[in-house]
Structure 1
Amino acid sequence: MTTHAHLDEDLRALLAGWSAPTDAQERLRQDYLAHLEVHEDASAKAGPPAHFTASCLVVDEAGEQVLLTLHRKVGRWLQFGGHIEASDASVAGAALREAVEESGLPSGSLALRPGLAQLDRHALGSGFTRCTEHLDLRWIAVAAAGSQPVVSEESLDVAWWPVDALPRGTEDSIRELVALA
């Protein structure tokens, strides 16, 4: 058994049981399942160049603001996320871990909403080495009132944004994720 086998099984179960909200999300769900069938350790950073990642959009309790990171490598405002580690108990757990690590919020101050929110497959720019594409699974987490972020080494900045005034250049998939939140 490989080090990421339990996570690949978690991915299969998540994707098999998820009801995609749109035809485009259903096509991605099918593509993700097909990718899992052909690639061993599909959730490992050292796996295939196109591999699964987990991310998390953090919202305030009122649903009026989202917490985004100005990603150091990408140079754009994004949700928190990254590679799935072999030590993660689940893919959802990886998304929550990434949100805690990159936001600087205490782990007890974030509550992951149940269920997968969105899938997003995107090519990576030149700031990445071996990785060429991420097959991202996205969740939404609610931050406790008064939560104050701290900039991590992966970010240039971390800030709360009103849901109706996201930063210029915010990608459509993130705007859709915000709308889902």
Structure 2
Amino acid sequence: MSLHDDAVLVLKKYDSQEGQDSHGGQQELRGLYLDHLAAHPDGMWKACEAGHVTASALVIDPERGKVLLTLHRKLNMWLQMGGHCEPVDHTLAGAALREATEESGIPDLTLLPGGPVQLDRHPIPAPCTWHLDVQYAALAPAGALERISDESLDLRWFGFEEAAKVADGSVLRLIERTRAALGARS
């Protein structure tokens, strides 16, 4: 199965998850992502100028009540780990986990079961138009030590409430939805 095919399946399953449309127009975004992939066989790759699917993961330590955010080198914003899909990626979940591991320096991250936590579409500079981000949550193992990558200016753990002082609305919604997903597991 191709990464494109996996993305379509992930997005179709996303429709059946409870509570996904409680706010944020998630079902509308889901439809937009599926339409994009239907119209663009190259829609998973950075070269697709009409926009492309990206994968990200919020690294979380629920025991300490903290999230790990990266100060993105190009955007100078505190964000979750993530980025472009690469030819080595066979699944969206695998791409999100790879990106989270590379950018956090933390081995043995595990994705929160149940698939993506949120979809977020945001504009990007030309020549491309949009990132169609599929956002997961990654659980950090006990005692995890982060290591900054070349893509970051800084890497730091923030308490859930403290993150509101540095992160934008998209990241805060991702934190909120991740905390809700964690609560549903308990």
| TM-score (norm: length of structure 2) | 0.87
Q: How many residues align?
A: 172
- Structure 1: gaps spanning 5 or more residues: none
Matched residue, 2:182: none
RMSD: 1.6
- Structure 2: gaps spanning 5 or more residues: 179-186
- 1:149-173 Cα offsets, whole Å, 9 max, x none, are 1111000000000001115341111
CA contact (8 A) 1:69 1:158 kept: yes
Q: Tell me which amino acid in the other structure corresponds to 1:50.
A: G
| Equivalent residue in structure 1 for 2:141, among 141, 144, 165 | 144
* Cα offset, 1:124, TM superposition: 1.7
Matched residue, 2:124: 124
Whether 1:105 and 2:102 are equivalent positions in the alignment is: no
Matched residue, 2:169: 172
- 1:61-100 Cα offsets, whole Å, 9 max, x none, are 4261000000000001000000001111201100000001
- 1:81-139 Cα offsets, whole Å, 9 max, x none, are 00001111201100000001111112x2x1111211100000024xxx53331000000
* Cα offset, 1:58, TM superposition: 0.4
Q: Which runs of 4+ in 1 moved over 6 A?
A: none
Separation of aligned partners in 1, 2:8 and 2:165:
36
Matched residue, 2:54: 53
| Equivalent residue in structure 2 for 1:16, among 1, 12, 16 | 12
